[in-house]
Amino acid sequence: MASDPEQPSFAKEESSSGEVGSAREPLLVGVHDSESYSVSAAILPFLFPALGGLLFGYDIGATSSATMSIESSTLSGISWYNLSSVEIGLLTSGSLYGALIGSVLAFNVADFLGRKRELILAALLYFVGALVTAFAPDFPVLVLGRLIYGIGIGLAMHAAPMYIAETAPTPIRGQLISLKEFFIVLGMVAGYGIGSLFVVTLAGWRYMYGVSSPIAIIMGLGMWWLPASPRWLLLRAVQGKGDVQNSKDIAIRSLCQLRGEASGDSAHREVDEILAELSYIGKEKEATFGELFQGKCLKALWIGAGLVLFQQITGQPSVLYYAASIFQSAGFSGASDATRVSILLGAFKLIMTGVAVLIIDKLGRRPLLLGGVSGIVISLFLLGSYYVFLDNSPVIAVVGLLLYVGCYQISFGPIGWLMIAEIFPLRLRGRGLGIAVLVNFVANALVTFAFSPLKELLGAGILFYIFCVIAVASLAFIYLVVPETKGLTLEEIEAKCL
């Protein structure tokens, strides 16, 4: 019988699974109530895809110090250190442009490669990009390395939340996907810390970028060891890309590896539920681009793309831009050192993301979004007021800054990535999530590009007030459009929320 090229090494073992169900309605009653899993078995598979987020965050943190190192006439170790403003922009945003390319690639190849192989490819691009950047002999090669690394970011940010969502036990799915955001912030803090260590070292920027290469190797080897996503295996089989019974056996064994042998009975039930939800798909029925804008997927696009759009256009990159000056005006001892301020804020972001991870599967997605974004509205109003008429009260600005960072990290930060991984129907998940990730990076690029000219035209205070109005609009969007997905299997989300 035909078998999938992504099947795990144990796929040839015998299985006693039953026949594929022929029900036309999803098996939704109580499947996840009796879902069995081992926490230790479930945590390990999460770690390797989450390293893709760690490497993304590390790039953000390390680049701020790497830029200072490269521009230093005494410490850069190169003859072409005198870079223009355009070249500095290419250096700092090169990985972002690469991520845009990676997002477009993911849309076209994700369903063919599968989540596992997409993450292996991302790890390879991370590794190559890091080495090319670290050993770059001139500026064009440096930018090329940044682009290659960025393509890895685009693929990893697309595939990692999908792989985790499709393999995680329902009761802790929110925590595991949110932990990926925790890893992004952890990577940022590590980047700031390692950058501060090497910023006074000759050619320190090479070490800053090279450090990520061994982590990329660990990520690639870990993903090679993990099995393919059971849901992706079953989708490909139902579409005629493999034998259904054989793929069902492999999917059950994959779930057992991912959640521990104790999950055997619940793995059988979950596979039956997935197949029942996919039972309407015929072998000739390939997903088309037009279907992304119809029915359930259109609603999922509104939810997912809307969340990641508001995630960026409520001012997240812009608020952090003012962190150093706000702390300095408040008289904090280390505020004049931008690197120390970055580490301080990064540590605070890490703590608040950890809080979100602990409570997200208890409180749910909507309460955290509504509460967190309400806090963002207040914080942006405080920051706007400080720059317009309260400039003699720097404590207001510090409170606004910390409130913004804390509220963002318990709402948009983790939940944006979580919801786009949960909300799309399985058959169109790869392409739908690809569009959402592309929207995220495009919005990030536009906000980053437009911030300086808008600040010069309007002033910081008015700009923060505009962000405040956008945050109010995002609050209305969440209240009216975003469903609660806590405690539901991915198949139940598709049946009940779309």
Q: Are residues 359 and 453 in the same domain?
A: yes
Q: What's the domain count of the chain?
A: 2
Q: Is the pLDDT of residue 89 over 70?
A: yes
When pLDDT is cut at 50, 70 and 90, the band that residue 72 belongs to is: confident
Task: Tell me whether residue 177 is in a domain.
Answer: yes
The CATH number of whichever domain residue 348 belongs to comes to 1.20.1250.20
Taking the C-alpha atoms of residue 338 and residue 322, their distance in angstroms, rounded to an integer, is 10
| Lowest model confidence (mean pLDDT) among 145-159, 203-217, 332-346, 412-426 | 332-346
Query: Which of 201, 226, 251 is where one domain is finished?
Result: 226
Query: Which of 192, 226, 260 is where one domain is finished?
Result: 226
Do residues 150 and 60 lie in contact, with contact meaning Cβ atoms separated by under 8 Å?
Answer: no
When pLDDT is cut at 50, 70 and 90, the band that residue 260 belongs to is: confident
Which has more pLDDT, 93 or 127? 127
Task: Tell me whether residue 198 is in a domain.
Answer: yes
Which has more pLDDT, 416 or 321? 416
| Helix axes 338-363 and 173-198, enclosed angle (nearest 10) | 170
Task: Tell me whether residue 369 is in a domain.
Answer: yes
Query: Exposed, middle or buried, 84 (CB in 10 Å: 0-12/13-18/19+)?
Result: exposed
When pLDDT is cut at 50, 70 and 90, the band that residue 9 belongs to is: very low
Q: Are residues 473 and 389 in the same domain?
A: yes
Q: Are residues 177 and 295 in the same domain?
A: no
Helices (runs of H) and strands (runs of E) counted in the chain:
19, 0
When pLDDT is cut at 50, 70 and 90, the band that residue 119 belongs to is: very high
Question: Which residue segment(s) compose the domain that 395 sits in?
Answer: 291-496
pLDDT at 88 (0 to 100): 85
Task: Give CB contacts under 8 A, 24+ apart, made by 445-453.
Answer: 445/93, 445/96, 445/97, 445/100, 446/312, 447/312, 447/313, 447/315, 447/316, 447/317, 447/318, 448/93, 448/96, 448/317, 451/317, 451/318, 451/321
Q: Are residues 326 and 473 in the same domain?
A: yes
Buried b / exposed e over 18-43, threshold 16 CB at 10 Å, is: eebeeeeebbbeebbeebebeeebbe
pLDDT at 324 (0 to 100): 67
Task: Tell me whether residue 462 is in a domain.
Answer: yes
Q: Are residues 185 and 307 in the same domain?
A: no
Please report the DSSP string for 372-428 in residue order. Answer: HHHHHHHHHHHHHHHHHH-TT-HHHHHHHHHHHHHHHHTTHHHHHHHHHHHHS-GGG
pLDDT at 331 (0 to 100): 65
pLDDT tens readout for residues 420-434: 999 988 888 888 888
Q: Are residues 207 and 303 in the same domain?
A: no
Please report the DSSP string for 128-176 in residue order. Answer: HHHHHHHT-SSHHHHHHHHHHHHHHHHHHHHHHHHHHHHHS-GGGHHHH
Please report the DSSP string for 334-367 in residue order. Answer: TTT-HHHHHHHHHHHHHHHHHHHHHHHHHH-HHH
Strongest mean pLDDT among 126-130, 270-274, 397-401, 441-445: 126-130
Q: Is the pLDDT of residue 475 over 90?
A: yes
Q: Are residues 222 and 319 in the same domain?
A: no
pLDDT at 12 (0 to 100): 34
pLDDT tens readout for residues 124-153: 999 999 999 999 999 999 999 999 999 999
pLDDT at 316 (0 to 100): 81
What is the rounded radius of gyration, in angstroms, for the C-alpha atoms of the chain? 23
Q: Are residues 216 and 308 in the same domain?
A: no
Query: Which residues, at least 6 apart from 259, have a Cβ–Cβ distance to it below 8 Å?
Result: 36, 37, 38, 41, 42, 169, 267
Q: Are residues 314 and 403 in the same domain?
A: yes
pLDDT at 237 (0 to 100): 84
Residue 239 identity (one-letter amino acid): Q
pLDDT tens readout for residues 285-334: 556 677 778 888 889 999 999 999 999 999 887 777 677 667 766 666 54
- Name the residue among 372, 49, 291, 286 with its Cα closest to residue 180: 49
Task: Tell me whether residue 125 is in a domain.
Answer: yes
Task: Tell me whether residue 25 is in a domain.
Answer: no
Torsion angle (degrees, nearest 10) of CA 314, 320, 321, 326: 120
Q: Is the pLDDT of residue 341 over 80?
A: no
Q: Are residues 212 and 295 in the same domain?
A: no
Percentage of the chain modeled with pLDDT above 90: 42
pLDDT at 31 (0 to 100): 41
Q: Are residues 295 and 220 in the same domain?
A: no
Q: Are residues 476 and 346 in the same domain?
A: yes
pLDDT at 285 (0 to 100): 57
Task: Tell me whether residue 1 is in a domain.
Answer: no
Query: Which of 226, 246, 269 is where one domain is finished?
Result: 226
pLDDT tens readout for residues 356-414: 999 999 999 999 999 999 999 999 999 999 989 887 788 898 899 999 999 999 999 99
Taking the C-alpha atoms of residue 360 and residue 411, their distance in angstroms, rounded to an integer, is 10
pTM equals: 0.84
Task: Tell me whether residue 466 is in a domain.
Answer: yes
